[in-house]
Amino acid sequence: MGISLFKKKEFFSKEEKEKIVSSIRHAEECTSGEVRVFVERRCRFIDPLDRAMEIFDMLEMEKTHHRNAVLVYSAIKDRQLAIYGDKGINEKTGHQYWEDEVNKMVSEFNKENYAEGIICCVNDIGQALQHHFPYIKEEDKNELPDEIIFGK
């Protein structure tokens, strides 16, 4: 049995985690779209969008009914960010929308407001999803978990 003298540092406080999850749930309240947040220390790829696409596939996010799932990806230590929207939402918003959202997140991350950067991004994505994929009571269900996913 090994003993570690160092405690693994958490990315976010308990309150920040709760706020991020709450923002995901709020973003999904008025849309059939789905949002997931994946956070890790280091990005294994040169381009974080490649890593986001790998994670998107690994989590089988393309299986949503309207192909309107969005992954918000960040590698905190490497300061790498990406947002990957599935086919349905990407066709509606276009590349520039995602680039603008990443830039907003970078602005908050540069101030070391990591949780706030993610929350603002999730809120904006929720508004875009609501606009393009409004909530339909008879059809809607939460297709993907709302919890933050933490990588290594």
Percent with pLDDT over 70 in the chain: 94
Please state the domain extents for the chain.
14-150
pLDDT at site 2: 46
- Residue 138, classified by CB atoms within 10 Å of its CB into exposed (0-12), middle (13-18) or buried (19+), is exposed
- CATH class (in words) of the domain with range 14-150: alpha beta
Q: Tens digits of per-residue pLDDT, 13-48?
A: 999 999 999 999 999 999 999 999 999 999 989 999
* Mean pLDDT, residues 68-92 taken together: 96
In this structure, which amino acid lies at residue 70? V
* Confidence check: pLDDT of 1 > 80: no
Q: Global pTM?
A: 0.92
Q: Is the dihedral of CA 43, 55, 90, 74 positive or negative?
A: negative
pLDDT at site 7: 44
C-beta of residue 73 within 8 angstroms of C-beta of residue 101: no
